[in-house]
Amino acid sequence: MNNRAQFDQLLAAQPFRPFWLETTGGNQIRVLKREWLLQPSATGYSFVVFSDEGTYTILNYSDLTDTIRIEEPNR
């Protein structure tokens, strides 16, 4: 992912909306809740995304494409 600022804006959005990240390997990872994504530091290159199944994925920002899909709210 080339634009870390865009990623940080998604996390800070009010109200938060779940979104999907795409890896360079073609996997899609859902960020369901803001609290389920942990960034060890603002200058770090890795982060952790937890899932609703109780698992987690450790990613590096360079593992991500620039494709981010924001979920539409249910009406």
Domain ranges within the chain, ordered by starting residue: 4-70
Answer for the pair 4, 61: CB distance below 8 angstroms, yes or no: yes
Report pTM.
0.82
Query: Could you write out the DSSP letters of every residue in 55-68?
Result: -EEEEEGGGEEEEE
Question: What is the predicted pLDDT for the residue at 18?
Answer: 93
Q: Does a cis peptide bond (omega within 30 degrees of 0) precede residue 15?
A: yes
- The identity of residue 14, as a single letter, is Q
- Per-residue pLDDT tens listing for the chain (75 residues): 566 777 788 888 899 999 999 999 999 999 999 999 988 876 778 899 999 888 999 998 888 888 888 988 775
Identify the residue whose tokens are 């609290």. 35
- Out of 2.30.30.100, 3.90.470.20, 3.40.1710.10, 3.40.50.920, the CATH code matching 4-70 is 2.30.30.100
Name the nearest CA neighbour of 23 among 56, 63, 59, 60.
Answer: 63
Question: Helix, strand or coil for residue 54?
Answer: coil
